[in-house]
Amino acid sequence: MNRSFVLSRQVTCAPSTSKFKPTLLRSLQQFYEKLIQSRRIAYWREDGFTPKLCNYQELRDEHTVDKKLIIENFLPFFQLHAPMIEEQQQMILDSNFMITFVLLERAFQSQHGKYFVMASGCMIDTNDLMKFYRNPEELDDDKAMDAKTLLGPYWRRNNQILGKHLKEVKLDVDEFLLIVALIYWDFGG
């Protein structure tokens, strides 16, 4: 390749004196960071946080808190940039998006390890679902075995569809957020 030709094609850009308007992706990153910060406040104690394996009861409680944090800190980005639609349609869109977002984000946060990582940083060992579904207050493991039998296929399927593929491609945060935006704004057209 002719070096002088390549150098002659370089674009030079003087600093702009106008106010910088963030791109959609940069704005989405800011809202996502706000969500991450709100989770730190909600889940972490002042003396720090040590990740641990959680059980189904902790997952249920965490999901209740996290849903509220997502609604307050992340969904406003989409509502701000979404086309104006009726309130009821907006609620349906947000509700449908929430499920997909949580599944995708959990897989994204779990892509570098062997555990399923929750929003709080707690983990689920999907290879030991008996421990996850066991109620520490009960001596009988029948309910845990029933839950494992019923919900075990969900965990395997989630790993096959999301977890395995995200580990292969190793998304970074920008790529993850781009996919999130595409999912939200996919109106099925």
Token output for 19: 């106010």
Would you state the pLDDT for residue 46? 66
3-state SS track over 19-71:
CCCCCHHHHHHHHHHHHHHHHHHHHCECCECCCCECCHHHHHHHHHHHHHHHH
Under 8 Å CB-to-CB from 152, ≥6 apart: which residues?
A: 129
Would you state the pLDDT for residue 2? 45
What number is the average pLDDT over the span 150-165?
Answer: 83
Could you state, in order of their start, the residue ranges of all structural domains in the chain?
22-183
pTM: 0.79
Report the distance separating Cα 133 and Cα 143, nearest Å. 8
Report the distance separating Cα 115 and Cα 144, nearest Å. 19
Would you state the pLDDT for residue 80? 86
> Are 43 and 62 within 8 A, CB to CB?
yes
What number is the average pLDDT over the span 127-154?
Answer: 83
DSSP H/E element including 184: helix 173-184
What number is the average pLDDT over the span 15-25?
Answer: 65
Closest CA to 76 of 116, 38, 121: 38
Would you state the pLDDT for residue 179? 93
